[in-house]
């Protein structure tokens, strides 16, 4: 018999027999600490996942906007084993099969260390003299997804920030803000600036990847084909 049933039974006994001992027993039951009383219903208004500020990534400052971080469901981070409603499922080079990583395990390097993995191929990057910058890029920065092998550009002796996926429509208004677009086009595959409007399409066969220098703010472009 649970708490509610016990109360009802004793109340009936008191009503029928009007015995003082039953009244006393009812009072004791109401105050008894061992009886598990019904818990009040609490309306949940927030996600059970703790709300935390996302870490900042110098070389990928807006990973939610670029789509590197997904927010469609709650998953378990493969590194810390905690639930998260913001997670990364992009390129990660490791022996283990990784489905999801939370932003915090990426930012503090725990994911890279635990799985001995990297988020960017360390030979598919521009040359930079500071090895610590390369370490931050490949071990503590969420990557992006390309049609082929992803490549990370640099400028002013530092890696650029990945800004997102672009086509001609997205870069045409900012052509004057590129450091050297013609050189970028030649290095990536040989498309000329004159041909670019006919080929470069966001989510198309020729996909553009926009980078921005973290020092001078000039843009750079990489592209590949499906």
Q: Are residues 121 and 73 in the same domain?
A: yes
* Euclidean distance between CA atoms 176 and 178, whole angstroms: 6
Q: Which residues pair with 220 in a beta bridge?
A: 211
Q: Are residues 169 and 190 in the same domain?
A: yes
Q: Are residues 113 and 166 in the same domain?
A: no
| Cα four-point dihedral sign 110, 65, 61, 163 | positive
Q: Are residues 49 and 14 in the same domain?
A: no
Cα separation values, 46 from 75, 76, 135, Å: 17, 18, 37
The tokens for 177 are 């803000």
Q: Which residue range(s) make up the domain with 188?
A: 147-226
Angle between helices 20-31 and 3-17 (to 10 degrees): 160
Residue 184: name the closest of 138, 134, 218, 226 by CA. 218
Residue 49: per-residue pLDDT: 54
Residue 52: per-residue pLDDT: 77
DSSP per residue over 2-20, as a string?
-HHHHHHHHHHHHHHH--H
Query: DSSP letter at 50?
Result: P
Do 138 and 117 form a contact (C-beta atoms < 8 A)? no
Q: Are residues 141 and 183 in the same domain?
A: no
Q: Are residues 114 and 186 in the same domain?
A: no
Residue 29: per-residue pLDDT: 41
43 SS3 class: coil
Tell me the longest C-alpha to C-alpha distance in the chain: 101
Quote the number of domains for the chain: 3
The tokens for 10 are 């004793």
Residue 19: per-residue pLDDT: 46
Cα separation values, 151 from 18, 22, 124, 144, 210, Å: 87, 82, 5, 9, 11
Q: How many CA atoms lie within 13 A of 125 on its CB side?
A: 28
For 51-78, how does the pLDDT look when each residue is reduced to its tens digit (9 = 90+)? 678 999 999 999 999 999 999 999 999 9
**DSSP H helices in 32-130:** 63-66, 103-107, 110-115
Q: Are residues 86 and 171 in the same domain?
A: no
The tokens for 38 are 């019904």
Q: Are residues 95 and 49 in the same domain?
A: yes
Block means of pLDDT (10 residues each) for the chain, length 226 residues? 52 51 46 41 39 92 97 96 96 95 98 98 96 98 97 98 98 98 95 95 97 99 97
Q: Are residues 5 and 90 in the same domain?
A: no
Its pTM stands at: 0.77
Q: Are residues 166 and 109 in the same domain?
A: no
Q: Are residues 105 and 133 in the same domain?
A: yes
Q: Are residues 61 and 127 in the same domain?
A: yes
């Amino acid at each position: 018999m649970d708490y509610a049933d016990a109360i009802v039974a004793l109340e009936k006994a008191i009503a029928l027999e009007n015995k003082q001992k039953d009244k006393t027993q009812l009072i004791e039951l109401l105050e008894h600490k061992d009886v598990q009383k019904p818990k009040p219903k609490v309306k949940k208004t927030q996600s059970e996942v703790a709300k935390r500020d996302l870490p900042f990534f110098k070389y990928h400052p807006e990973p939610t906007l670029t789509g590197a971080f997904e927010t469609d469901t709650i998953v378990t981070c493969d590194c810390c084993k905690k639930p998260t409603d913001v997670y990364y499922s992009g390129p990660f080079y490791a022996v283990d099969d990784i489905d999801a990583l939370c932003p915090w395990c990426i930012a503090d390097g725990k994911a890279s260390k635990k799985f001995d993995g990297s988020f960017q191929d360390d030979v598919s990057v521009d040359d930079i003299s500071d090895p610590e910058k390369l370490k931050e890029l490949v071990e503590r920065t969420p990557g992006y997804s390309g049609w082929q092998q992803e490549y990370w550009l640099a400028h002013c002796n530092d890696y650029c920030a990945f800004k997102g996926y672009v086509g001609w429509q997205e870069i045409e208004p900012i052509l004057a803000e590129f450091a050297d677009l013609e050189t970028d086009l030649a290095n990536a595959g040989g498309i000329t600036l004159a041909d670019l409007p006919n080929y470069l399409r966001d989510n198309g066969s020729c996909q553009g990847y926009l980078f921005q220098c973290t020092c001078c703010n000039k843009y750079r472009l990489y592209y590949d084909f499906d």
